[in-house]
Amino acid sequence: MENMNNDSFATELLQEVRLQTKRWFVAFVIMVVLELGTIVGFVWYLTLPIEDTITTQAVEDIEDGEITQIGGDNYGKSGSDEADNPKGDKE
């Protein structure tokens, strides 16, 4: 009778271990699938087309190949620029 009791206890422990192992395996498979999904999603994000923005700036007043005014800011020669003297008065 005692031998039968030990066998049933061992069998019960083996069934619990088997059930717990199956649960851990399912959790592992789910984690692998989620990790692969994350990697695939990141690669997909990297392959999306990038929207380019083009910025244009007005170029005004070119004298002797030197740009003296770009977009309202004064660069280069300051003596003959209209930005310094908008009325054209002689100093």
Do 29 and 18 share a domain, yes or no? yes
**Is the domain of 21 the same as that of 40?**
yes
Within-domain flag for 46? yes
Task: Give 78's contacts (C-beta < 8 A, 6+ positions apart).
Answer: 84
**What pTM was estimated for this model as a whole?**
0.46
In a domain, 89, yes or no: no
Residues 44 and 78 in one domain: no
Neighbour-count burial of 47, counting CB atoms closer than 10 A to its CB (0-12 exposed, 13-18 middle, 19+ buried): exposed
Looking at the structure of the chain, the number of domains it has is: 2
**6 lies in the same domain as 44:** yes
Q: pLDDT digit of tens for each residue in the chain (91 aa)?
A: 456 666 788 899 999 999 999 999 999 999 999 999 999 999 999 998 888 777 776 666 566 666 555 555 555 555 555 555 556 555 5
